[in-house]
Structures are given as C-alpha cells and as structure tokens.
Amino acid sequence: MRLSEEQGIAGKSSNLFRSFDIRHVKLKGATRLETAENYTILGIVFGVVLFIIGMGLTAVSTTGISALLTIVGSFVSFVSTVALILVWLVKEFKSE
C-alpha cells in the first residue's frame, strides 16, 4: 500500500501539524487593542519558553544563567499577563 504525501502514520492525515506554520502567524489585529492582545499573548508564550529553558538548565547547575532565565521568564510572563488583563478591561469598557 502506497501512502500519499498528505498521509502520515497508519494512513491518517497529518494535516494537524501542516496547518500550523509560524511564518503565517499574524500579530496585527483589526484594531489596536486586538494587536496589543496578540503581542501580550506572544509575551506570555516567550516568558514561558524562557522559564522552561531555565528550569531545564537547573538540572545542570542551580546558579548562574539557569536561575536568571527562570526569573526573567517568570517576570515576562507575569507582566504580559497583567498587560493582557488590562487590554481585556479596556476592550470591555470601550465596547459599552
């Protein structure tokens, strides 16, 4: 049995992973608030990635760059979350 290019393991379609392409992610929203919301969500994801890298590096060493990445990642995630909540509040009050 020959599988086509769009079929993955066991003949199932693997379009789930093909549909997500980082090059096609658009941060620009219809309004300024939607754009700000998209950037704050990106900030949360970036902070989480820094945090995960820092926590993973603590297996090697508990001081230095690993601790710094963990602290910076959690701070970026926190600030981005607060900013996202503020954007949501502004959107909610502006829509009325």
pLDDT, tens only, 6-59: 455 555 555 555 555 556 667 776 788 888 898 999 999 999 999 999 999 998
> 13: helix, coil or strand?
strand
pLDDT of residue 82: 97
Q: Which residue type, as a one-letter code, is found at position 53?
A: I
**Greatest alpha-carbon span in the chain:** 60
Give me 4's structure tokens: 């086509």
Reading phi first (left if > 0) and then psi (alpha if -120 to 50, else beta), residue 59 is in alpha
13 beta partners: 7
Lowest mean pLDDT among 18-22, 63-67, 73-77: 18-22
Decide: 40 and 84 in contact? Cβ < 8 Å: yes
Segment 70-87 shows an average pLDDT of 95
Segment 75-81 shows an average pLDDT of 96
Lowest mean pLDDT among 27-36, 49-58, 61-70, 74-83: 27-36
Of residues 86 and 64, the one with the higher pLDDT is: 86
Domain boundaries along the sequence of the chain: 26-95
